[in-house]
Amino acid sequence: MLNLIGAQWEPVFVDFFTGGVQRTPNFRNNINEMGEAPVLVHGARKLSQSGVILTYLAERSGKFKPQGFDEQLECLRWLLFDNQKVNGYLGPYRFLKNFAPKPDPGGMAFLKGRIDNALGIVDKRLARAPFVLGERPTIADISLAAYLYYPPEEFGFDIAKDYPAIGSWLARIKALPNWAHPYDLMPGHPLPGR
């Protein structure tokens, strides 16, 4: 989102594998009491939770902002669906597959079933319109796209191929001015030894 709106910003590396700054008392007392990333620091304001950050950036920039009360509610519905169902399952699945010593096959199957259901809902929605809320991209699209650009080998399945409407939509998102692949925006990628 920061790239897409043309903001001047600087990413900060957070190492989740060796204790990480987000677990320190200083971070929890002064940055984010939840001990999580991402955190957007803008002046004295410190915002966490991606939906809050996206909403703030849309309001400040006027870009990717839902228009009118009904569209704001619909956007919020998709932000919550994304956080709970799409990235809420894809994130743990990808983490377990790539970084856990021995992921439990039953747990992986459970998550994969939930992923298939959630992606099926998104694919059906995107078969009807070019973007989640209709004819133009909003923060609902930016939120939902977050995990979907990771390579198929990190999931063990190809989202863009398995869900054609999502695949076409990802190409439309990628064509937006200033878009950059998530890995190109992450300091510290690729992780050493990973």
User: CA angle, corner 23, sides to 20 and 27, nearest 5?
Assistant: 100
Q: Where are the domains of the chain?
A: 68-174
pLDDT at site 190: 64
What CATH class is the domain 68-174? mainly alpha
CA atoms within 13 A on the CB side of 144: 30
Residue 19 to residue 30: CA distance in whole angstroms: 17
> Facing residues of 134 across strands?
131
* Residue of 13 and 55 predicted with greater confidence: 55
pTM, to two decimals: 0.91
Coil, strand or helix at 167: helix
Q: For residue 164, which phi and psi values (nearest 5 degrees)?
A: -60, -35
Residue 127, number of CB atoms within 10 A of its CB? 13
Q: Which two tokens stand for residue 154?
A: 């990190």
CB 82 within 8 A of CB 53: no
| Local confidence band at 129 (pLDDT 50, 70, 90 cut-offs) | very high
The residue length of the chain stands at: 194
Residue at token pair 């209709």: 134
Give me the pLDDT at residue 139, please: 98
Task: State yes or no: pLDDT of 193 exceeds 60.
Answer: no
